[in-house]
Structure formats: C-alpha cells, structure tokens
Amino acid sequence: MSETGSFPWIPGNFLALPPDQSDLDGAGVVLIPVPYDSTTSFRSGAREGPGAIIEASYGLEDYDCELDSDVSLVGIHTTPALEPHMGGPAAMVQRVRQAVGAYTGKGKLVGVLGGEHSIATGSVQAHLESHPDLSVLYLDAHADLRDSYMGTPWGHASGARRIHEMCPLVLVGVRSLALEERDYIRSASLPTFFWPPPGGDGPSMIGEILDRLGSTVYISVDLDVLDPSMMSAVGTPEPGGMDWYQLTALLKGVAESRRIVGFDVCELSPSQGVAACSYIAAKLVYKLLAYATLSYDGALAGDGGLAGKG
C-alpha cells in the first residue's frame, strides 16, 4: 500500500464501499447521482438530494436484517454526479437517457438518485431500449400528468404523462390532483391507486397493483409519496401519505413476483426537513436496490431467496 493509501479515507460512494465492492467492472448495480432541480415550482433544493443520500449512506449497515443478506456484495458502483444541462428540461431528459443508457447497455441494474422527478422520464426511456416490455410503477403524492407546465412538457409536473405515452404505467400514492389530471386518468383509464387506498393497504391492494404491471418493472419513487411526518424534506409535502412499512411491503411484493430492472429515488430536498430524512432516503435506496437485485438475479425461489424470508 502506498503512503497516502494507508490513511483511513472514507470512500465517497454509496455505502462508502471499498474499491473491490465499488469498481464498475465488478459491480452488479450502478447508481447515478443527478443533482438537478431546474423545473421545481414550489420549494427548490432537490439538487442537494443525491449528495445528502450518499453522505447519509455511510451510516447504513451493509447487512440487512429483513433479507438476512449483505446485498452490497453484488457490487455497487456510484458514478460521478451528472452535470445539469442548462439548455432546458428537454435537453436534460435527453442527457439522463444517454447516461443511464451507457450502463443499462452494459447489463447493469441502474438506479438514479435525484434530483427532481422529471429525470425519471429519461431513465425510463433508457430502460425501455433494453426492455421493450417494461411497465412502470410510479409512486408519488402527485399524478404528474399535466401535458405541459410552466412552458415545458418535460418538467416535474409532466413526468408520468410522458412515461404513459411510452409504456404501461401504474400510479400509486396519489392524493393531490389537478382537474386536468383527473380527466386524463378517466379518459385514458390509467390505473391509479389513491392514498389511502379505499380497500386498505394489505395483500389485496398489492395484488391489484401487480395485476396492472407486466413481468418487467421499473420503479420510480418521489419521496413525497411518504407521509411528511417522516419525510418532510421534499419540495411539496402532502399530508396523508404512506408509512415506511406500507411502502417497503409494496416494493417487496413487486420483487417477489416481478423482475425489477431499474429504479429512481427523487425529490429529497435535505434543507427543507430534518436531517433524519436523508438517512431514511438512503435506507430506501438500499432497500430498493436489494429487492431489485434479488428479483433481477432470479434468486426469489427457494430458501435462500427473498420469498423465503417473508
């Protein structure tokens, strides 16, 4: 070891993993930080989200009690942060598509750390190139179904609309809606699970959501799907949201019967809430990454798989 290499440096990647667990070549998972919030309309600050998630992740345990597994052993490579494109929202969506596509094309499971939720559009576009049968589970307090907002069709208020134009989409957690969005949901018969779900949040709800998804799934999370009592650090905190176990039970349910091929976790705006929010967001990224990895590898069957740990 060189003289400088002997100091106890903290690796600047998700989970602060050593090189043998974070080098690109050996990694099963690639995380792409996208510090971008240029179309945010209420409280900005999501550009600080990816850095806060990565820093908070240093405090996470690699071993996961629920899964009885150290999922970081699959190898998690964190790329440098993607520079925002100041040419406008359309150019930024295109940039995200290219960056994500560079890694999905290598067969990596890619997760995007936002940033505002509009980046999901570019990430889904890239995943569709590798998985034409993709369907998207979109978790958000808002429907994001405006055809255009504040002069652009590529902003945070239109992400779900753009995605629905490309592939099947299921909305879950919605509790704030514009009239235009309600009309679109009705005319397009778009599967939408409002929150709280009228029939309860148990297995039947998860089953109904699964019925609307294909076999290959991309999961897009706006952290405002969680209740602001636990996730206040978001641009638009909507009361009456999911709790931790409702969200993770749904994600685990998807992983048990579908192949999760990619995801994003967006809208952490750390200065708008308590410091715990960054840790919760980092933990959610790790849970999602773990569920996705276990479903992606087809490791769900048998005692060693996710299904055996329920």
Residue 215 structure tokens: 């076999």
Q: Minimum Å distance from CB 140 to Mn ion?
A: 4
- Residue type, position 220, single letter: S
Instruction: Identify which of residues 35 and 75 has a Cβ nearer to Mn ion in the complex.
Output: 35
* For Mn ion, the closer CB: 122 or 228: 228
Pairing of strands 69-70, 63-64: antiparallel
Contact residues for Mn ion (CB under 5 A)? 140-142, 222, 224
Q: Which is nearer to Mn ion, 140 or 256 (CB)?
A: 140
Other CB atoms closer than 10 Å to residue 200's CB: what's the count?
9
CA 36 to CA 48: how far, in whole Å? 8
Residue appearing with tokens 């995200």: 96
CB nearer to Mn ion: give 126 or 141. 141
Q: Which is nearer to Mn ion, 181 or 222 (CB)?
A: 222
Residue 156 beta carbon to Mn ion: minimum distance, rounded to whole angstroms: 7
Alpha-carbon distance of 66 to 310, in angstroms, equals: 8
CA dist 145 and 284 (Å) reads 25
Residue 168 CB, nearest distance to Mn ion (Å)?
Answer: 20
Token couple for 31: 């995380």
Contact between 62 and 15 under an 8 Å Cβ cutoff? The reply is: yes
